[in-house]
Amino acid sequence: MAENQDFHNKSGMYLFLGSMVFVTVFFIYMVTLNKGVDLGEKIEIPASADAPVYNLSAEKEPWVSSPDIVKAGAKLYKQNCATCHGEKGDLVGGVPTARNFVEGKWTQGDGIVNHFKVLQNGIKDAKGNQTAMVSFSAQLKPYERWAILNFIETLTNNKSKDKPEDIAKFAQTAP
């Protein structure tokens, strides 16, 4: 029986040494000689990455809606308004006591002019105390506020009934 045990031990040792040689050779091959697998994947930079960046501040009439202004307004809305009003203005993920832009009545008056005034001044209670809606006059420039309002106008079911000439007249005098 002692001979059988020696035979099995020698076979195990040979198998172990052989596997170590194989692993070492395979490791050297993978690290030095193999270039990897080409899956044919190509990384392409989207064409829009080369496009000029839209400059909202250069807009002469930011109160007049355009696709670029609405897109800039969407970005500003996401940064400044979505936390309270929800990503889509419907309060989903927002603060339940905030204004639902999609439906419901405007509390401070209809129209984009009144909405601009809310962004400018915030909303105060009867005693003159600031409520949950704060003024964004320090955080947002007027053209940014117009862009946000143009974006909100795309969300709401209660569209502004202000005439374009009235909006332009107000915008010329708005701070």
**What predicted TM-score, i.e. pTM, was given to this entire model?**
0.68
Four-CA torsion 106, 109, 110, 115, nearest 10 degrees: -90
If one compares 25 and 4, the residue with the highest pLDDT of the two is: 25
Residue 140 near residue 72 (C-beta atoms within 8 A): no
Query: Both tokens of residue 18?
Result: 């052989």
CA–CA separation, 49 and 62 (whole Å): 24
Residues near 150 by beta carbon (within 8 Å), at least 6 away in sequence: 62, 63, 65, 69, 70, 73
Residue 30 has pLDDT above 90, yes or no: no
* Percentage of the chain modeled with pLDDT above 70: 85
For the chain, how many residues are written? 175
Per-residue confidence (pLDDT) for residue 43, from 0 to 100: 62
Per-residue confidence (pLDDT) for residue 57, from 0 to 100: 86
Q: For residues 49-65, give the mean pLDDT.
A: 81
Residue 21 has pLDDT above 80, yes or no: yes
Residue 132 has pLDDT above 90, yes or no: no
Query: Both tokens of residue 14?
Result: 């040979």
Residue 158 has pLDDT above 90, yes or no: no
End-to-end CA distance of the chain, in Å?
103
Radius of gyration of the chain (CA): 33
Per-residue confidence (pLDDT) for residue 99, from 0 to 100: 84
Residue 40 has pLDDT above 70, yes or no: no
